[in-house]
């Protein structure tokens, strides 16, 4: 699958990029790992496949700017760019030398999940739909770090890539958006809700089986336009995404966690780099929000134990309580049609968060039948 790149992307309105011209370099004592020898083609590219060749010539990414100290890889949606520019802003705040012109370059990489919009995510493939092409660019040395919505990141990472950094987490709740009702309960029977998320679909149908949920792909702006055009009666989005784009005014209501448990890692931004790249690790270290890291690691351990993906309706939420000494976790699995849900909870020391998440996932896996996630014919 081809991946396209572009440079010099303008920041969303929220981003404050700083300024100034002075020599910049890595944090003191850090050493950059060399880019891997040889170049990997995009996933699925063969000798004459998409992305590897175009009329007999291999796709070559844009040259790295001579002033670039860090090249950030990101998807091209408005939300992804907002997250990339938030990362850029935080890097400059932590390392003022990166405010020099061109020191941080943002490069857009189009992923399978971005390019295939006429099918549900569950029909395209399970894991890595929004990360594979970015991973390839990172391993090839085309980008140094990559900024991801953590809910899109598979529980496994390719060899050679590590996830050392997560930014402070936004509000993890979902929002209900409609011009016809104030909340899900107010929608009349037969109302159509647009959502690409099996997690949302299953939880909606579990509580409101007389509603209908249809596939609803595209970025936030596209979905809001479809809603405005009357394609559906309502939709649901992550509050975190709206907040990062200063678009919370579009939310009709914020959905309580008791009514809609979020996706694993929802609201968290993760930043990857190449394994052994001490320079990038040193740049990222001050940005890491350890409370978010602890909670998301517990949630991802739960997801990994269930071998979850976008094909599986799984939800999980970990929060710190007791002054940050304790993790409280709640996890859920559901049949896609909402006919059955199974929940579990855990509570224990932060140091045991990953073990608790894994144990919770194994418990639910033991309670599910082999065809639990199968979609009825």
Q: What is the pLDDT of residue 184?
A: 96
Ranges 48-52, 57-61, 121-125, 283-287, most confident? 283-287
Give how far Cα 134 sits from Cα of 33, 157, 168, Å.
18, 12, 22
Q: pLDDT band for position 341 (50/70/90)?
A: very high
pTM here is 0.81
- pLDDT of res. 169: 98
Q: State the pLDDT confidence band at 9, using cuts at 50, 70 and 90.
A: very low
User: Would you say residue 367 has pLDDT above 70?
Assistant: yes
Query: How sure is the predictor about 110, in pLDDT bands with cuts at 50, 70 and 90?
Result: confident
Lowest average pLDDT, out of 41-45, 135-139, 167-171, goes to 41-45
Dmax (CA) for the chain in angstroms is 64
Higher pLDDT, 213 or 312: 213
How many other β-carbons are positioned within 10 Å of the β-carbon of residue 11? 16
- pLDDT at residue 131, rounded to an integer: 86
Mean pLDDT of the chain: 83
Q: Which is the catalytic residue, given 144, 152, 174, 233?
A: 152
Write down the pLDDT at residue 60: 63
What tens digit of pLDDT does each residue of 92-107 get?
999 999 999 999 999 9
Interatomic CA distance for residues 367 and 202, integer angstroms: 18
pLDDT of residue 310: 54
On the question of pLDDT at 30 being above 50, the answer is: yes
- Overall average pLDDT of the 17-45 stretch: 42
114 in catalytic set: no
The whole-number pLDDT of residue 64 equals: 82
Per-residue confidence (pLDDT) for residue 63, from 0 to 100: 79
For residue 43, pLDDT over 50 is answered with: no
In tens, the pLDDT along 252-302 reads 999 999 999 999 999 999 999 999 999 999 999 999 999 999 999 999 999
DSSP character at residue 27: P
Q: How far apart are CA 80 and CA 75, in angstroms?
A: 6
pLDDT computed for residue 14 by the predictor: 39
Query: Are 174 and 203 spatial neighbours (Cβ–Cβ below 8 Å)?
Result: no
Start-to-end C-alpha separation, the chain = 31
The encoded tokens of residue 143 equal 């980008």
Alpha helices by DSSP H, listed for 95-238, are 112-115, 121-124, 132-140, 198-207, 220-228
Structural domains in the chain, CATH included, are 1-168+268-288 (3.40.190.10), 174-254 (3.40.190.10), 293-367 (3.30.160.40)
Please, where are the H alpha helices in 95-153?
112-115, 121-124, 132-140
Give percent of the chain above pLDDT 70.
77
Q: Which residues have CB under 8 Å from 217's CB, separation 6+?
A: 117, 118, 119, 120, 121, 196
Answer for the pair 234, 177: CB distance below 8 angstroms, yes or no.
Answer: yes
> Is residue 111 classed as helix, strand or coil in its secondary structure?
coil
pLDDT tens profile 193-221 = 999 899 999 999 999 999 999 988 778 88
Cα distance between residue 205 and residue 306, in whole Å? 22
What average pLDDT does the segment 29-48 reach?
41
| pLDDT at 108 exceeding the cut of 90 | yes
Confidence of residue 126 (pLDDT cuts 50, 70, 90): low
Backbone angles phi, psi at 90, to 5 degrees: -65, -35
Helical (H) or strand (E) element with 39: none
Q: Who has greater pLDDT, 16 or 74?
A: 74
What's the CA gap between 279 and 69, in Å, rounded?
10
How many residues are recorded in the chain? 377
Kindly tell me the burial class for residue 172, based on how many C-beta atoms sit within 10 Å of its own C-beta (0-12, 13-18, 19 or more): buried
Going by pLDDT thresholds of 50, 70 and 90, the confidence category of residue 309 is: low
| Range with lowest mean pLDDT among 46-50, 59-63, 181-185 | 46-50
- Of all residues in the chain, the percent with pLDDT exceeding 90 is 67
């Amino acid at each position: 699958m081809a991946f396209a790149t572009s440079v010099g992307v303008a920041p969303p309105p929220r981003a404050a990029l700083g300024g100034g011209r002075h020599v910049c370099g890595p944090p003191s004592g850090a050493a950059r790992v060399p880019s891997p020898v040889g170049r990997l083609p995009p996933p699925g590219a063969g000798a004459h496949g998409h992305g590897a060749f175009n009329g007999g010539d291999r796709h070559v990414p844009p040259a790295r700017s001579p002033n670039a100290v860090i090249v950030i890889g990101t998807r091209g949606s408005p939300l992804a760019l907002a997250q990339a520019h938030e990362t850029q802003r935080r890097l400059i705040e932590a390392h003022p030398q990166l405010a020099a012109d061109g020191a941080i370059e943002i490069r857009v990489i189009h992923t399978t999940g971005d390019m295939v919009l006429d099918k549900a995510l569950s029909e395209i493939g399970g894991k890595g739909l929004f990360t594979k092409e970015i991973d390839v660019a990172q391993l090839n040395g085309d980008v140094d770090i990559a900024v991801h919505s953590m809910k899109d990141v598979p529980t496994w990472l390719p060899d050679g890539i590590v996830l050392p950094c997560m930014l402070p987490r936004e509000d993890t709740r979902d929002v209900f958006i409609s011009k016809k009702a104030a909340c899900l309960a107010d929608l009349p029977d037969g109302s159509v809700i647009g959502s690409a998320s099996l997690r949302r679909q299953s939880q909606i149908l579990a509580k409101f089986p007389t509603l209908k949920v249809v596939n609803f792909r595209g970025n936030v702006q596209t979905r809001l336009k479809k809603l405005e055009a009357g394609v559906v009666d309502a939709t649901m989005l992550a509050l975190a995404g709206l907040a990062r784009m200063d678009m919370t005014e579009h939310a009709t209501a914020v959905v309580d966690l008791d009514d809609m448990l979020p996706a694993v890692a929802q609201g968290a931004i993760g930043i990857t780099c190449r394994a052994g790249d001490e320079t990038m690790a040193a740049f990222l270290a001050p940005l890491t929000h350890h409370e978010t890291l602890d909670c998301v690691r517990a949630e991802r351990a739960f997801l990994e134990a269930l071998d979850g993906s976008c094909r599986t309706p799984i939800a999980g939420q970990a929060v710190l309580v007791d002054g940050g000494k304790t993790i409280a976790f709640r996890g859920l699995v559901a049949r896609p049609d909402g006919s059955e849900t199974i929940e579990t909870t855990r509570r224990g020391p932060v140091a045991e968060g990953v073990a608790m998440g894994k144990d919770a996932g194994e418990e639910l896996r033991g309670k599910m039948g082999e065809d639990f996630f199968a979609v009825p014919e």
